[in-house]
């Protein structure tokens, strides 16, 4: 691990777009960009965890000014090297606490990135940071999975999500602390390589309380970016909290 870049150093950044290729498809990107552009209106957007620009770059192409905060210089370097990357303003820092100049009509966190903050305090700080950047009436948007604890029988702590001849991947859960990790075992030239990322899972109701502490109120919650209804069977949600005047 690169200490400066956290868990998203050069090794991860070099293969990130390839490893997350399905999330870069138009089916995954376009509905998110449509919704965020509509919320931004004529104002600028702030992305927490901008990464390699999966969402920021198409938003800029839509005419929405975007400022991105990310701890990983290696990921941001990939963003800057892409066509249009110079049009996305970036700041290196912890998105839970790093402040940038200006007011924004929308701030957003996508693809489970809220879980990269591995303590409840850091997640609460993130909501407060988002609220501090928003103009009155502005919105904070989070896309994150619903914890899959119903898949855990008594005594089991791991849930597999990828099994192939060359890769095994599984999540582990600690229900006492809400700590979790995603673990990947990849076979390369007959040798196994292991990579693990720590997370903290969080419930929708818990996020609503964090928002309330930050002066935000829930406006909408859907299963996905195309505004499918959120139900007890939904595996993820896209939630929008609005800053009260």
The reported pLDDT for the residue numbered 1 is 40
195-208 per-position pLDDT tens digit? 899 999 999 999 99
3-state secondary structure 102-132: CCEEEEEECCCHHHHCCCHHHHHHHHHHHHH
Percent of the chain with pLDDT over 90: 84
Spatial CB neighbours of 29, under 8 Å, sequence gap ≥ 6? 23, 54, 55, 58
Q: How far is CA 172 from CA 120, 161, 162, 196, 207, in A?
A: 18, 11, 13, 10, 21
Q: Is 10-147+202-243 in CATH node 3.30.930.10?
A: no
The whole-number average pLDDT for the span 87-108 is 98
Name the least confident of 61-70, 104-113, 178-187.
178-187
The pLDDT tens digits for 167-185 are: 899 999 999 999 999 999 9
Give the full edge-to-edge strand order of the sheet including 134-145: 89-92, 66-70, 45-48, 104-109, 134-145, 236-243, 216-222
- pLDDT bucket at 2, cuts 50 / 70 / 90: very low
Segment 77-84 shows an average pLDDT of: 97
pLDDT bucket at 4, cuts 50 / 70 / 90: low
Report angle CA 44, 50, 55 to the nearest 5 degrees. Answer: 70
Look at residue 177 and give its three-state secondary structure.
coil
Angle between the 73-81 and 10-19 helix axes, to the nearest 10 degrees? 50
Beta bridge mates, 20:
none
Cβ contact 183:160 at 8 Å: no
Domain ranges of the chain: 10-147+202-243, 149-197
* pTM, entire model: 0.93
DSSP assignment letter at 24: G
Separation of alpha carbons 29 and 33, rounded Å: 6
Cα–Cα distances (Å) from 211 to 40, 107, 232, in that order, read 19, 13, 21
């Amino acid at each position: 691990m690169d200490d400066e870049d956290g868990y998203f150093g050069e090794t991860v950044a070099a293969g990130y777009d390839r490893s997350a290729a399905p999330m870069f498809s138009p089916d995954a990107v376009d509905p998110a960009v449509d919704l965020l552009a509509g919320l931004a209106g004529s104002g600028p957007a702030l992305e927490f965890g901008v990464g390699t620009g999966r969402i920021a770059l198409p938003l800029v192409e839509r005419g929405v000014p975007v400022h991105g905060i990310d701890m990983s210089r290696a990921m941001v370097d990939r963003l800057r090297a892409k066509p249009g990357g110079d049009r996305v303003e970036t700041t290196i820092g912890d998105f839970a606490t790093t402040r940038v100049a200006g007011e924004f009509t929308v701030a957003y966190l996508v693809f489970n990135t809220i879980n990269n903050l591995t303590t409840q305090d850091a997640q609460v700080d993130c909501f407060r940071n988002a609220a501090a950047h928003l103009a009155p009436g502005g919105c904070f948007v989070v896309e994150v999975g619903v914890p899959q604890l119903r898949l855990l029988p008594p005594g089991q702590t791991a849930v597999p999500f990828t099994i192939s001849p060359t890769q095994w991947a599984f999540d582990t859960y600690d229900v006492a602390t809400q700590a979790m990790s995603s673990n990947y075992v990849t076979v390369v030239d007959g040798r196994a390589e292991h990579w693990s990322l720590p997370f903290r899972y969080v419930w929708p109701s818990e996020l609503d309380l964090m928002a309330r502490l930050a002066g935000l109120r829930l406006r909408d919650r859907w299963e996905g970016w195309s505004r499918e209804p959120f139900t007890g069977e939904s595996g993820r949600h896209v939630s929008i909290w609005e800053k009260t005047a």
